[in-house]
């Protein structure tokens, strides 16, 4: 027998043995009469708070109707309680009974014993080798599953078709607020075949009436930037798209969306909250809609809600991981764990959206090199979004001192700040970020830009701090940046970045 045959034998028999031992353990249980599928259904409900049928079906990756027949049996066997929520009788919740909790505990104990028994036969060094080998094999199999969904070219950035439009090179430039990504950068990206994204966040900061009439100033500047970008690329062959990033937490969100559509934006990208009402504000089916999410669950929620309420599905899904710049869609204490699970989350989201015909997945957060691009493609991404790398380009719209802050930054200067809007944010350390860790700097005026921010309690004004940096007053400002900003060591052109990432 050669090594291939031997390895194949070991893998097949390992799989069968674990399954058999698990089945036997469940069958021989003195206390419970359950099948392996039933045990896994109980484990998905878990001993904690009651869950909805949709939540449990999503975590088991089965339909709600399949789950319903399984739950009927478990209710009859008295392992599960099912009830309607008194405040909203349309919602059905399920929870484990005492017996259900006991069965899940018994099953968890069995798994712990199994692993401990295996480990007890090995010394520390052997345990580490076993862990690394199994991790690598498991990683390989996960990628195989993605190959089945994605086809045979998982490592190539293939042109991306969204209904009636094609993006020749599916590289998105992240929307970067307060003057970082405006018409010039977005047009340069679309000229190379990618998606150039104008950020609507406080885009009117240079308008004369910005402090007296922020809404009008922002809408005027937004429309002007979209028209300038579209005009700049109108005769370019094989061009990409001009998109607008509008934070769902923005005050006057609907009006910004309507203004972007009116000025001719090809796509609206929206995060900082789940953009549940986006299709209602857009109306036109021609404008592509892309929600930014941070988990497979959030993707499922958006898909179900948009389909039910607007009969419309997202044109693409954008997953932004915890290494991204700006406001992050994770709690600060979740950041490390979310990064450990980054590639698993890509696969989970890919599976979640696999049933939506033609809905590609774009992945963002910490992508800087061609190798980074290839890695996320291998895990199921169809396209990528980069923010940080595009800041140090000739075409980036921001003040030169902002770009210098990137070029001068060292790894230890990368910080996570607490934003007054209640989310963590990634930035480069400045005097200002040091100061607000120690004292409150009360906002002296407030233009009520983001709904979650309460100016009377806010530790500082995020808009003012970002504005200072955007105008070049770095030390009194916040320089948002992804975790890779310290890798910027030269100015580039957008075209050079496209060549580097796709060569």
Nearest CB to ligand FMN, comparing residues 240 and 325: 325
Closest CA to 402 of 208, 185, 171, 172: 185
Q: How many CA atoms are closer than 13 Å to the CA of 56, on its beta-carbon side?
A: 29
Nearest CB to ligand FMN, comparing residues 100 and 366: 366
Instruction: Write the binding mask 289 to 308 for ligand FMN: x where contact by CB under 6 A, - elsewhere.
Output: ---x----------------
Out of 43, 58, 222, 247, point to the residue binding ligand FMN (CB under 6 A).
247
Angle at 167 between CA 163 and CA 171, to 5 degrees: 130
Instruction: Write the binding mask 146 to 185 for ligand FMN: x where contact by CB under 6 A, - elsewhere.
Output: ----------------------------xxxx--x-----
Tally of CB atoms within 10 A around 418: 15
Structure tokens at 289: 């809609």
**Least distance in Å: CB of 231 to ligand FMN?**
23
Following DSSP, what letter does each residue of 258-295 receive, concatenated?
HHHHHHT-SEEEE-SS--TTHHHHH--SSSEEEEEESS
Write out 6-23 in H/E/C secondary structure. HHHHHHHHHHHHHHHHHH
Nearest CB to ligand FMN, comparing residues 38 and 395: 395
Secondary structure element (H or E) that encloses residue 71, with its range: helix 64-76
Nearest CB to ligand FMN, comparing residues 175 and 279: 175
Nearest CB to ligand FMN, comparing residues 22 and 496: 496
Of 256-295, binders to ligand FMN (CB under 6 A) are: 271-272, 292
Told to check if 481 binds ligand FMN by CB under 6 A, we report yes
Nearest CB to ligand FMN, comparing residues 199 and 468: 199
Segment lying near ligand FMN (by CB under 6 A), choices 146-154, 229-237, 338-346, 358-366: 358-366
**Least distance in Å: CB of 492 to ligand FMN?**
14
**Least distance in Å: CB of 236 to ligand FMN?**
23
Tokens 């996320």 locate to 376
Tally of CB atoms within 10 A around 93: 17
Told to check if 204 binds ligand FMN by CB under 6 A, we report no
Out of 41, 245, 430, 464, point to the residue binding ligand FMN (CB under 6 A).
245
Told to check if 202 binds ligand FMN by CB under 6 A, we report no
Following DSSP, what letter does each residue of 419-467 receive, concatenated?
-TTSSEEEEE--HHHHHHHHS----S-----BTT--TTT-SS-HHHHHH
Nearest CB to ligand FMN, comparing residues 282 and 428: 428
Kindly tell me the burial class for residue 457, based on how many C-beta atoms sit within 10 Å of its own C-beta (0-12, 13-18, 19 or more): exposed
Residues at the site binding ligand FMN, with contacts judged by CB under 6 A: 174-177, 180, 199, 201, 245, 247, 271-272, 292, 320, 323-326, 364-367, 385-388, 480-482, 484
């Amino acid at each position: 027998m050669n090594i291939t045959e031997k390895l194949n034998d070991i893998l097949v028999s390992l799989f069968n043995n674990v399954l058999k031992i698990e089945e036997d353990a469940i069958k021989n249980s003195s206390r419970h009469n359950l099948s392996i599928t039933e045990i896994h259904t109980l484990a998905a409900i878990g001993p904690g708070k009651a869950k909805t049928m949709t939540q449990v079906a999503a975590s088991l990756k089965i339909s709600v109707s399949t789950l319903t027949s399984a739950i009927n049996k478990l209710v009859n066997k008295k392992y599960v309680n099912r009830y309607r929520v008194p405040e909203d009788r349309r919602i059905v919740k399920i929870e484990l009974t005492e017996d259900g909790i006991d069965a899940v505990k018994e099953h968890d104990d069995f798994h712990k014993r199994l692993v401990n028994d295996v480990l007890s036969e090995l010394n520390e060094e052997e345990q580490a080798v076993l862990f690394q080998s199994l991790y690598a094999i498991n990683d390989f199999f996960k990628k195989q599953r993605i190959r089945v969904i994605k086809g045979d070219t998982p490592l190539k950035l293939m042109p991306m078709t969204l209904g009636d439009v094609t993006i020749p090179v599916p590289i998105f430039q992240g929307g970067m607020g307060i003057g970082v990504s405006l018409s010039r950068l977005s047009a340069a990206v679309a000229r190379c075949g990618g998606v150039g994204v104008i950020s609507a966040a406080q885009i009117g900061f240079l308008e004369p009436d910005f402090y007296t009439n922020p809404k009008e100033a922002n809408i005027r500047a937004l429309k002007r930037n979209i028209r300038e970008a579209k005009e700049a690329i109108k005769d370019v062959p094989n061009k990409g798209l001009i998109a607008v990033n509008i934070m769902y937490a923005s005050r006057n969100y609907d009006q910004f969306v309507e203004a972007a559509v009116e000025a001719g934006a090809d796509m609206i990208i929206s995060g900082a909250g789940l953009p549940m009402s986006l299709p209602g504000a857009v109306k036109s089916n021609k404008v592509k809609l892309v929600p930014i999410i941070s988990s497979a669950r959030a993707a499922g929620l958006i898909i179900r809600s948009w389909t039910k309420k607007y009969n419309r599905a997202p044109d693409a899904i954008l997953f932004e991981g915890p290494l991204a710049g700006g406001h992050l869609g994770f709690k600060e204490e979740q950041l490390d764990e979310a990064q450990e699970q980054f590639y698993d989350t890509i696969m989970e989201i890919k599976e979640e959206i696999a049933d939506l015909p033609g809905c590609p997945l774009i992945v963002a957060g910490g992508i800087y090199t061609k190798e980074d691009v290839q890695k996320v493609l291998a895990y199921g991404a169809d396209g990528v979004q980069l923010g940080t790398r595009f800041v140090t380009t000739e075409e980036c719209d921001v003040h030169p001192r902002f770009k210098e802050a990137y070029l001068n930054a060292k790894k230890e200067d990368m910080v996570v700040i607490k934003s007054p809007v209640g989310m963590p944010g990634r930035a480069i350390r400045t005097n200002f970020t040091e100061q607000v860790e120690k004292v409150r700097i009360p906002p002296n005026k407030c233009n009520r830009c983001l709904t979650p921010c309460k100016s009377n309690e806010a530790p500082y004004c995020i808009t003012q701090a970002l504005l200072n940096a955007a105008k070049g007053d770095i030390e009194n400002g916040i320089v948002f940046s992804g975790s890779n900003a310290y890798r910027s060591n030269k100015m580039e052109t957008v075209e050079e970045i496209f060549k580097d990432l796709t060569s």
